[in-house]
Amino acid sequence: LKTMSGDEETRDWGKGGDEDSIGDDLVEEEVEAELTLSEAIKQVLRKARITGTLYRGLREACRVLDSKQALFAVLASNCDHPEYVKLVESLCAEFDVNLLKVPDNVELGKLAGLCKYDDEGNARKVVAASVVVVHQDIAKESDRAVEWLINFVKESGSA
C-alpha dist (Å) from residue 132 to 3, 18, 45, 112, 153: 45, 45, 9, 7, 17
For position 38, what pLDDT does the model report?
82
Closest to 44 (Cα-Cα) out of 157, 155, 152:
152
For position 157, what pLDDT does the model report?
66
Q: What is the mean pLDDT of residues 124-151?
A: 81
Closest to 72 (Cα-Cα) out of 43, 55, 97, 106:
97
Query: How many alpha carbons fall within 13 Å on the CB side of residue 102?
Result: 27
Q: Which residue has the higher pLDDT, 74 or 150?
A: 74
For position 17, what pLDDT does the model report?
45
15 pLDDT more than 50: no
**25-78, pLDDT tens digit by residue?**
444 444 445 778 888 888 888 888 888 888 988 899 999 999 988 888 998 888
> Which positions ≥6 away from 152 have C-beta within 8 Å?
37, 40, 159
**CA–CA separation, 134 and 128 (whole Å):** 17
**CA–CA separation, 122 and 14 (whole Å):** 38
**83-126, pLDDT tens digit by residue?**
989 999 999 999 988 888 888 888 888 877 777 777 777 777 87
Query: pLDDT class for 80, splitting at 50, 70, 90?
Result: confident
Please give the biggest Cα pair distance in the chain. 69
**Cβ(99)–Cβ(92) under 8 Å?**
yes
Closest to 114 (Cα-Cα) out of 51, 45, 37, 43:
45
